[in-house]
């Protein structure tokens, strides 16, 4: 299995993972042969990447940290809340608690909670998919920090609803495909306070969970908003969600920019750890996030192209790879453990 751009998929290729819509429905089922009409449908839905099964990637397994059904149930619920709240005066907190508890249980039951960027996102449904990814990333970090079950549930509940204040922001600003004006950015910043007030008003949410909506854009050096808090003045849950929020945002396509490569975002998060983020949170976050996701294509310093087969926990930048093209783009198949080959290393990600 390998992850590829929809634009480069040949007609007749075999889909390796089911593609879901944000309402939980199936767009295309795993195993289907991709006809041109299917590829056109994916592009129309704003889906830029999918997973393929082929001879290049035979035997490579890509695992999500939570069950696909659970993730899609969560995305569907967030969409229902964030598109329906304006027609109702209550948030379906009980069902949110249930789905967060399910995510927590699946993560705690897993022998390996490495986050591998497996989800397929769409630009139009970014907000809902982002909310669930931030929840999962935050919970993984919380587990790494040794949080107990009650703390994880509080963290997960606030994380999955951290952006709910955006439903009060004009859609034309949220969806603007170009740089925001100063006035528009000030409007966007209001989502923190608005989200906190919405969640507090619900009366069914832990106050510490509601505070995440208020504090997830605060920065460790005091440069954030809305209160310009710094260091330990910022609630721990908000410090965790701040890192998860930035990571998922930068690794996702947005209406106004293309996503960054996973290793670039990893480098950014670690380099900003002493400025914007709590260093302890960053230290635990990066333990559980792959630098080069399994199933992705990488370019080696030898100019060979390879697919990542397995993550290396002790040496994250030196995974096990399968070389599939030599420097002249001739097919080959050879697996190489980069932790044992000090003269060979990854220089970039690429399409294979």
Position 245 pLDDT exceeds 90: yes
Residue 286 binned pLDDT confidence (cut-offs 50, 70, 90)? very high
Report the C-alpha gap between 350 and 352 in whole angstroms.
6
Residue 141 binned pLDDT confidence (cut-offs 50, 70, 90)? very high
DSSP string, 85-104: GGGSS---HHHHHHHHHHHH
What are the angstrom distances between the C-alpha of 331 and each of 8, 117, 198, 324? 17, 27, 56, 6
The whole-number average pLDDT for the span 9-31 is 88
Residue 89 binned pLDDT confidence (cut-offs 50, 70, 90)? low
The whole-number average pLDDT for the span 111-124 is 78
Report the C-alpha gap between 320 and 141 in whole angstroms.
25
Q: Which ranges of 85-165 would DSSP assign to H, the alpha helix?
A: 93-109, 126-144, 149-160
Most confident of 140-154, 164-178, 267-281: 140-154
Domain 68-287: assigned CATH number: 1.10.3210.10
> Which burial class, exposed, middle or buried, applies to 159 when counting CB atoms under 10 A from its CB (0-12, 13-18, 19+)?
buried
The whole-number average pLDDT for the span 49-62 is 92
Residue 288 binned pLDDT confidence (cut-offs 50, 70, 90)? very high
Q: Could you state, in order of their start, the residue ranges of all structural domains in the chain?
A: 2-57, 68-287, 297-349
pLDDT of residue 87: 46
CA angle 222, 227, 232 (to 5 degrees): 50
CB atoms within 10 A of CB 43: 12
Selected residue with higher pLDDT from 211 and 124: 211
Position 88 pLDDT exceeds 60: no
pLDDT in tens, 186-215: 999 999 999 999 898 887 788 999 999 999
CATH class of 2-57: alpha beta
CA trace torsion 207, 208, 212, 218 (10° rounding) = 120
pLDDT of residue 23: 72
User: Tokens 């991709």, residue?
Assistant: 34
pLDDT in tens, 291-313: 999 999 999 999 999 999 999 98
Closest CA to 25 of 64, 75, 62: 75
The whole-number average pLDDT for the span 29-44 is 93
Report the C-alpha gap between 249 and 267 in whole angstroms.
15
What are the angstrom distances between the C-alpha of 68 and each of 17, 62, 226? 10, 12, 35
Q: Which helix (H) or strand (E) holds 298?
A: strand 297-300
Q: Which helix (H) or strand (E) holds 321?
A: strand 320-325
Average confidence score pLDDT of the chain: 91
What are the angstrom distances between the C-alpha of 249 and each of 199, 252, 343? 22, 5, 34
pLDDT in tens, 206-242: 899 999 999 999 999 999 999 999 999 999 999 999 9
The whole-number average pLDDT for the span 319-336 is 96
Contacts of 226 (CB under 8 A, 6+ apart): 189, 190, 192, 193, 214, 217
Report the C-alpha gap between 328 and 15 in whole angstroms.
28
Residue 119 binned pLDDT confidence (cut-offs 50, 70, 90)? confident
Closest CA to 243 of 279, 293, 196, 213: 279
């Amino acid at each position: 299995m390998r992850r590829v751009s929809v634009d480069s998929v040949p007609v007749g290729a075999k889909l390796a993972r089911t593609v879901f819509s944000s309402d939980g429905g199936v767009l295309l089922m795993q195993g289907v042969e991709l006809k041109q009409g299917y590829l056109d449908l994916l592009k129309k839905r704003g889906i830029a990447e999918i997973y393929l099964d082929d001879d290049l990637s035979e035997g490579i397994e890509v695992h999500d940290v939570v069950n696909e059904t659970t993730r899609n149930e969560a995305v569907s619920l967030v969409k229902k809340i964030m598109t329906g709240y304006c027609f109702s005066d209550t948030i379906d907190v009980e069902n949110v608690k249930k789905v967060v508890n399910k995510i927590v249980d699946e993560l705690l039951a897993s022998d390996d909670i490495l986050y591998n960027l497996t989800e397929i996102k769409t630009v139009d449904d970014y907000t809902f998919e982002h909310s669930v990814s931030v929840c999962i990333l935050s919970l993984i970090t919380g587990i790494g920090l040794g949080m107990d079950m009650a703390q994880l549930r509080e963290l997960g509940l606030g994380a999955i609803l951290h952006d709910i204040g955006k439903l009060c922001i004009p859609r034309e600003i949220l969806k603007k495909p170009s740089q925001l004006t100063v006035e528009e950015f000030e409007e966007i910043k209001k989502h923190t306070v608005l989200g906190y007030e919405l969640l507090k008003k619900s009366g069914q949410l832990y106050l510490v969970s509601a505070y995440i909506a208020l504090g997830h854009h605060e920065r460790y050096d005091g440069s954030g908003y809305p209160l310009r808090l710094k260091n330990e003045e910022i609630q721990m849950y908000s410090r965790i969600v701040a890192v998860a929020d930035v990571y998922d945002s930068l690794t996702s396509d947005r209406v106004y920019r293309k996503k960054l490569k996973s290793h670039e975002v990893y480098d950014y998060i670690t380099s900003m750890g002493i400025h914007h983020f709590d260093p302890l949170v960053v230290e635990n976050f990066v333990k559980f996030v792959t630098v080069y996701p399994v199933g992705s294509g990488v370019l080696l310093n030898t100019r060979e192209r390879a697919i990542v087969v397995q993550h290396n926990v002790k040496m994250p930048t030196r995974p096990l790879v399968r070389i599939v093209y030599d420097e002249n783009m001739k097919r080959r198949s050879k697996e190489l453990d980069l932790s044992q080959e000090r003269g060979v290393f990854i220089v970039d990600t690429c399409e294979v």
